Amino acid sequence: MAISRAQLAKELEPGLNALFGLEYARYDNESAEIYDTESSERAFEEEVMLSGFGSAPVKSEGSAISFDDAQEAYTARYTHETIALAFSITEEAIEDNLYDRLASRYTKALARSMANTKQVKGAATLNNAFDSSFTGGDAKELCATDHPLVNNNDLRNEPSTAADLNETSLENALIDIAAFVDERGLKVSVRGEKMVVPPALQFVADRLLESTLRPGTADNDINATRNMGMLPQGYVVNHYLTDTDAWFIKTDAPRGFIHFERMPMSTKMEGDFDTGNVRFKARERYSFGWSDPRCVFGSPGA
């Protein structure tokens, strides 16, 4: 249905002083703090986790050398979604407007709506990180205690017992990240890069990472996490996280959080011959997801 003069009655009245409601400031592109962005030219993208070899055994003198097999572990699929929104304005509403151009004003609102959806979609990966209904290539949710490995063991990227964000839980998480192994159980050099928290935890995160001395104590101990540079990129606040006590540590594991851009946002405008209405449309295609669960360590909070 087109936006008509009846819906814009006040805008058509002489003496109107101001219009408001469409010019709020927006949060930055917060998903860019989590994802690596790549372009795509297909309906979906797949990434295959490969397993290497186990530890090399000792070869006894005169004995045959051991052979090992490499294999594919699992496949992560990114299916692109089409996000689109449009609005239409009647010919008479455009003709009778006394102030700003309607099209210009509501095109900005359209851009806000498209940007909001993208941030919500980007945050959904973390919002669903502990939900077994949202699984990745290994058939497990993003943060789990039992990601299956090729060597029949499990990888854990969440605490055995859910914990709120504090000095102890943060240190334990960094210790667990240092214990990550590959599909065959070999140690991998993965470290935490940054912490991602909801607004409710930003003050806790700041005290934990920015204080010079040990936070929350009267002792004169140093802040070990800061002193050792364990999270070199500090912390970021994501305003689209829905759980107020869930927190995450993004690691430097390759092929972790990926944002595929199939078609960048484009806008179109056209007039309808029969009605004279002018229609405006915005559209883009993309997907958000993860390939390697080693890209994050997360806790849902106690």
Phi-psi region of 91 (alpha: psi -120 to 50; beta: other; left: phi over 0): alpha
Domain ranges of the chain: 30-49+77-299
Give the number of C-alpha atoms closer than 13 A to the C-alpha of residue 41, restricted to the C-beta side.
Answer: 0
Query: Which pTM value belongs to this model?
Result: 0.86
Residue 100 DSSP symbol: S
Taking domain 30-49+77-299, whether its CATH number is 3.90.1690 is answered by yes
Which helix H or strand E contains 2, and what residues bound it? none
DSSP per position, 217-261: SSS--B-HHHHTTSSTT-EEE-TT---TT-EEEEE--SS-EEEEE
Provide block-wise average pLDDT over 10 residues at a time, the chain (302 residues). 52 43 69 95 94 91 92 95 91 65 74 92 97 96 97 95 96 97 95 97 96 83 92 97 97 96 91 85 95 97 92
How high is the pLDDT of residue 125? 97
Q: For position 63, what pLDDT does the model report?
A: 94
Tell me if 57 sits within 8 A of 25, measured CB to CB.
no
pLDDT at 110: 86
